[in-house]
Structures are given as C-alpha cells and as structure tokens.
Chain A
Amino acid sequence: MPLGGAVLGAAREVQVPILALLLLGACAAKAQRAIRTRSIDTAISPAAMFPLRLRNSTAVGLCASELGLGIGLLVTAGDPGTAAAAVTVRVATALLFAIAVAALNEMRISRPDAGCGCFGDLSDAPVTMRSLARSAVLGLAALGSVGTPPLRVPASPGQGALLVLAAACELLLVAAISPETSEILVRLGYREPCEARRLPVARTLASLRASRAWRHYRPYLTAQAPGDVWREGCWRFVTYPASVDGRDADVVFSVYLQSRRPAVLAAVVAAASGLGPQSLPVETLRVERLPAPWPAGRARAAATAASPAPWPAGRARAAATAASPASAGVRVPSRPAVPAPLAAVVVPAPRPVPTFTPAPLAVTAPERAAPTVAAPGLPSPPVPVHPLAHVAPRVSALAPAGPDPAVLRRPRFVPSRPPARHAPSRRRLPNI
C-alpha cells in the first residue's frame, strides 16, 4: 500500500475513538456543571435559544445524545457483525455536529454574550468562529469514519506508530482550534494572585507583631487594639493610635499579604479627626528608615566566635543601638544569643568587615526637615529630626535638635556601610 493510502487509512481509523472520547468528555463536563449548580439548564448552551419550557428537556436531550453516540461509537467500533449499526451511529454523529455548527452560528449572532457550554464550565467564552470550525472538523471526521473496517490490534509496530501519530495530530488540531485550551492551561498552572488572596486579619496582626517595625514603634503606641485595618491589593494596613511627645499621632503599618515573613513598612503621621479638608492632608511626623539589620547566621556566628566579648545582644544591644535617654525605659525584646555549639562549628574567621565605626559625637549636621505631604493652604511647620535618627530611632521627632548630654556619655556607633548579605530590608520586598 502506498504511504499516502496508509496515512489516510490510519487517519480514518482513529476517528472513532477520538470522537467517542470527545462526546463522552463533553457529556461528563455538562453533567458535572449541572450537579454542581443543582440545575440542569444553568449551562450556557444552545438550550438558551429555546423557549423556557423546552430548555430542560433540550439540555437533557443534548447530554443524552452525546452519551448515547459516544457509547454507540465504542460498542460498534470493533465488531464486524454490527457494520450497519456502526454506519448509523457514525452518520448520526456527523448529523449532531452539523446541527451544532448551525446552532453555534445562530448563537453567535443572536446571543453574542453567551458561551457555547460545550464543555461545561470551560466553555464560558463567547462563541467564535473557532467553536464553529471545531464542530465542522469533527463532523467531517465522523463522515470520514463511515465505511472504515472494524478496529483491530495493529499488525505491525510501524502501523501502530502511524495510528498513534495520526491520533496525536488530530488531537493537536482540535486543541488548537478549541477555545477551551487556554482555560485548561490556566487551571493547570493556577496560583492565587496576592491581590485576590484571602488572609485573616489575625494572621496579619501576628506577622506584624513579630516584625522589627513593630518593636521599633511599639513604645509610642497608646492602645493594644488597632484603630483601623484595611486592605488595598497586596497590602494590608493597620493603624494604631500613638503619642509622640504629647502630640497625638497614628502609626501606620503596612503588611504584605503573604503568610510567611511578610514585608512590613511603617510611618508615623499626625492624628486627625472629622470629615473635611481640615483633616487632610496627612502630615508625616516621621518617616524613618529602619536600622540596617544585624548580621545573622554564619556571619554573626563567626563574629561571635572571633571576638572575645559576645556580640551585644538583648538590652545591651538595644542600649548600643538606641543611644538616647528616651530609650532608657524602653523594653526591647531581647534576641537569644548565638548558642555555643553553633559558634563552635563555624570556622573561625577574621572579624568581618568593620561593620560599625564610631560616629562623630558632635551633632553638627544641618537639620533635616521631615518629609511632609504637600498641604495646600495648610503649611505644616518644619519638624526637626535628629540627624542620626536612623540609628537612634527612639529620639523624638519633635524634640529640638542639638547635642544631647546623654549621647556623649555613651559609645555611639553608626553603620559605615550595610553588610553585603544583609542589606536593606527592602531586599525581601516582592517586586510590585
């Protein structure tokens, strides 16, 4: 047999199982949708074009005919004794697809917003020429299968490979012209985007209270419960009433919507109440950058092992970091020191980087006004901020700048450059 004839024969042979598979799949998808919605005619299908009293029976009839033809194609495929029945079933299948082409064309004109419902939930997109083309191709395939010999086990491996190749080609063609393919691919690789992800407030608050920003601003807060909680896209915002040098303020935290180690940002703004222009705009009292994170993990362990005195931790570290009288009474949660076994297994290394260098004691830097939101008609007085506020965060933003006697009594450090591996906290922020 010439190659062309063999390919054509293989292509005609594989039509029956493919058609049966598609018909049974379509019926199952429709039934699944009907079961889920507990209503027969909820499927957006050509049944919508029928009068109301006929819709249920139309939907049931369509599904039943698909099921019957699918089973009929399989039953009559391999038995030589049912040749007449096989022809009948295959012609009926071609007729069904021809009717489908006409119905879909009618739907495309009269109900341009409705999906064909061919494969239940997957077929919500409006009917296009692709849906029509698929039905037409399948109808032709059904016609082409009329008169083919009964299915049998392939005589040779080459013939089997030809059949598989023909089936794969046809399935690829059907997938290419099916509008449902993109929907299936989306469902396979689905991951809920953060804007649409649900996360309980309690989870957000727990993440917030475990964050550095929370420890940083906690001494200013005047209430345990948040004043307001809201969400915009991937961020949830929490405000707490606070007091900064006797002035009412709000600390605004924003927590990224992810369940583990979310990014947390914070700002302090002047409190306001009442509806009207007087309560706006927001006056930012202090928008600080958090101090650069302390070396952790191996670097920190190495530093611990190399230096005779342990790295300042807990209260001592807090005192070294926040060198200010305001911090004297602040309770800072202490971080446990590096356990000795961990320090022991680390290869001793020279003390890493001169991470910190002594800062000049005299405060001579010019005052830096806090960034404020432009206030048309309501000029806000410039708020002096301590020039080294980022290392002494508990210095009040409203306190006059100037040399602080307490500062001179204490060793004072300022990071010379951020550690390479633990650079700014924003590194963990997702790219949004």
Chain B
Amino acid sequence: MRTKPEWEGGCDDLVESADPAHFTRRPLLRAAVLSQRDGAGQRDMTRLHEAAYESLLRPRPVAQRTVVAGTISDVSPHVLILQTPEGEERLTMTPATATWRGGPVAPTGLRHGDHVIARKTAPGPPAARGAGARRTIVERAWAGIGRATGTILEAAPRAAGSPRDLELLVDEGPAKPRKIVLIAHAVYRQILVRFPRLEAGYLIDVIGLRDEGFLRAISPATSQPAYRASQPPAPPLVSGRVPNPVSGSAVWHDPGEEPATLLGLAYPAIDPETGCEHAARRPPRGRPPARAGQPHAVDPHDSGLGCVRLPYLSVGSVLTVRNDCAGLSVPLPVTSCGAAARLFCDRCLQCSTSPRGRIADLTMAAFVELGGRLEDGCFNASLTVPG
C-alpha cells in the first residue's frame, strides 16, 4: 500500500545545524548518482567539493590562509598581532597596506581589542605561489566593520545626544536577530542622499562600525530601492534555460553566529519546498509571528523571487563564484539561506554596470578572499553551478 509521503524540512543552515554532515555530503551523493548518466563529472565534483569545503572540513594553518580574522592584541606601524581562535598570529604591514576603521586610517588608528579581518598578499612572484606557502604581509585590513541590510521597522531620533542622530531598528530576516543602526548627525546627509526614506517599511543597506549593541552607520552600501520592502518588483522571465553562469551583484553579510573565517555564501534561491520557505510559514520558536507586533516586518520568503532568476539549490550545494572585477574565482558551498538578498534589485557598479539583482550573499571571509573590498559593499560577480 502506498502511504502519503511526508517531508518536513527545516530552515537550513549549515553552521547551526545539529548534523552538518548530511549537507556536506550532498554534492558527493549527487555526483555518485548523476555520474551514471554521463559517466564523468564525479571526479571533478570531488575536487570541487574538496576545494569548497576546505575551510570547514580541513582548515589550513592560519599562516597559509589568505584571509585571517581575529582580535588585535598589539599593533604598531609595521606589525599587527592578532588573537585568532587557533592562536596568536603576527602579521607584517607595509606602506602599501590599506587599513580601514570607519574610513581609511593609518595602522596606528587601529585599536587594541578591535575585531579585524585582513587579506594577506601572496608571497613571492606569482609563479612561485603555492598553497602551502607562508603568508605574513597584510594587503588590506578592516577593523570593526559591520553591515545592516534589511527592512526598517522603526525610526526614531536618539533620546540622548544630538537631536539629529537617528536610530533605526532593522529586521534582516527571520533567521537573524534585529539590529539597531545609529545614523549620526555627521553622516546623516551623506546617507540621506542614497537613502531618502529612512522610515518604517523601506529598505536600508549601510556599512558601519560595530559598537556595543548597535552599528554606527558610516556609508551607504547601495541606493535605496524606490519600492516598499513588501512590494518588490516582479521577477524577470527567463525563457529556455536559466543562464549558467549567471551574472549580477555579490554582497556580503555580517558573520553573526558563523565563524569569522567561514568561506561560503547565503544563496538567495534555496529550494522553497525543502529549505527555508518551508519553515518560514511557522514562526520560529521563542519569536512572535512576523506581523503580530511589527506591521512593517517583511518575511523575504513570502515576497517573491527577486530580480534575478537563479536555479533552485540547497544548503550544501557547491558553486563557483567569480569576481569579475578582480578576475578571481573560488568554489564555495551554500551555507545558509539568503532570501533577504532577493528584496534588493540593485546593480553593482564597481567595475562596470552589473545586471540587476543580488546573486550571492557571501560570508565576510569569502568576500575578502575573492578580492572584494568590504567598504564597497559589492562586486560584479558571476555564479557557475556545476552541471
């Protein structure tokens, strides 16, 4: 007798999952099945899988990584000492090293206790570069950088301080805690140029400095969409096949609960039947339904497909992200659901005008690894799904 099939998926997140192994094995199981059809591709997928999951399964020693994240334990004009989970890491800064702390600063502008993410240069000439080579010279370092991307729930002048200081409560989606963004008087006009509607129901995307319990906005990361968060434009129609590779804008998000050095991406088009949207219909535990107390809270899973048509994938899938501006390409696993990226229909203008829509919401480390500059907020990217 045939029983009615039932499948109850959850809101997938590779890092927060109790059993991440079943996510990491998915590409290999896929290759094992589909290799019967074409006879090839299994070895390629195994190689791709190994490269994509390296940061998660077989992390290299800190000295050999391109991206390092930690807390400053000491800093001088030429040496930066970071406290990382794996131990202390001494890095060299040269006159060419660019450091950011709310803006371009001298290395001495970094402070003890700051959380820093840094990209190292490859040692020696390009021909001599190897995966196992030790890297110590910092090319770029960002201290205390953070980002708030989501829907404004409340906007109010700050109680204390200047009356022009504005505090926003920002909702970044059901899986993330809400953020408080402080727009100080000094940057208010600069942000108002790109975000003219700092009011409930509209979208915001700003980059700033992380502070105790809030984000101090520094610069806008994009232009504000003219529509309300709950009324994004209709998705474009794609005839025939979804293009592969697909081009668009790649952005980054705050690590939150994720490890700071995780290389992965939040994918905007997780299969709605088995991934996030499946769980989104039920309010998460310990959290009231989105619309109960907050009329402006928007569940990105319910608000359409976004401005770019992407193939549906799942958490654990491996795909290759290419920075079209820097020419770098890295295989990355899908580590979480990035439905909030679908609310934005912007273009990235870093090296040319990208097609409309965000195709990848990278982790901070992956964005830096791919040669992106965090303060820019995006780079023009191409996404290749292995066939």
How far is the CB of B197 from the nearest CB of chain A, in Å?
7
The answer on a CB contact under 8 Å between A37 and B7 is no
Provide the bound-state CA to CA distance between A189 and B7, in Å. Answer: 35
Provide the bound-state CA to CA distance between A284 and B21, in Å. Answer: 17
How far is the CB of A179 from the nearest CB of chain B, in Å?
14
**Residue of B whose beta carbon sits closest to that of A432:** B387
The answer on a CB contact under 8 Å between B312 and A196 is yes
* Residues A259-274 near B (CB distance < 8 A): 265-267, 269, 272-274
Counting CB contacts under 8 A, is A413 at the interface? Answer: no
Query: By the criterion of a CB under 8 Å from any partner CB, how many residues of chain B are at the interface?
Result: 69
How far is the CB of A111 from the nearest CB of chain B, in Å?
8
The answer on a CB contact under 8 Å between B240 and A280 is no
* Residues B56-73 near A (CB distance < 8 A): 56-58
Provide the bound-state CA to CA distance between A187 and B26, in Å. Answer: 35
Given contact pairs A199-B273, A201-B7, A230-B271, A265 touches B25 in the complex (Cβ within 8 A) = no
Given contact pairs A231-B271, A275-B21, A373 touches B57 in the complex (Cβ within 8 A) = no
Partner of A289, one of B28, B36, B46, B236: B36
**Residue of B whose beta carbon sits closest to that of A231:** B271
Counting CB contacts under 8 A, is A44 at the interface? Answer: yes
The answer on a CB contact under 8 Å between B9 and A232 is no
The answer on a CB contact under 8 Å between A232 and B347 is no
Counting CB contacts under 8 A, is B2 at the interface? Answer: yes
The answer on a CB contact under 8 Å between A269 and B29 is yes
Using Cβ atoms and an 8 Å threshold, which residues of chain B touch A374? 43, 46
The answer on a CB contact under 8 Å between B19 and A273 is yes
Query: How many residues of A sit at the interface, in one of the four size bands?
Result: 35 or more
Counting CB contacts under 8 A, is A233 at the interface? Answer: yes
Given contact pairs A196-B242, A232-B314, A287-B36, A206 touches B25 in the complex (Cβ within 8 A) = no
Provide the bound-state CA to CA distance between A272 and B29, in Å. Answer: 11
Provide the bound-state CA to CA distance between A426 and B35, in Å. Answer: 12
The answer on a CB contact under 8 Å between A373 and B239 is no
The answer on a CB contact under 8 Å between A193 and B242 is yes
Provide the bound-state CA to CA distance between A287 and B305, in Å. Answer: 37
Partner of A272, one of B25, B197, B316, B347: B25
Using Cβ atoms and an 8 Å threshold, which residues of chain A touch B237? 186-187, 190
Q: Which of A166-174, A250-258, A310-318, A393-401 is near enough to bind chain B? A: A250-258
How far is the CB of A204 from the nearest CB of chain B, in Å?
8
Using Cβ atoms and an 8 Å threshold, which residues of chain A touch B3? 224
The answer on a CB contact under 8 Å between A39 and B240 is no
Using Cβ atoms and an 8 Å threshold, which residues of chain B touch A343? none
Using Cβ atoms and an 8 Å threshold, which residues of chain B touch A230? 26, 271, 274, 314-317
Using Cβ atoms and an 8 Å threshold, which residues of chain B touch A274? 21
Of the listed residues A224, A230, A272, the one surrounded by the most CB atoms of chain B closer than 10 A to its CB is A230
Counting CB contacts under 8 A, is B287 at the interface? Answer: no
Using Cβ atoms and an 8 Å threshold, which residues of chain A touch B274? 201, 229-231, 236
**Residue of A whose beta carbon sits closest to that of B307:** A124
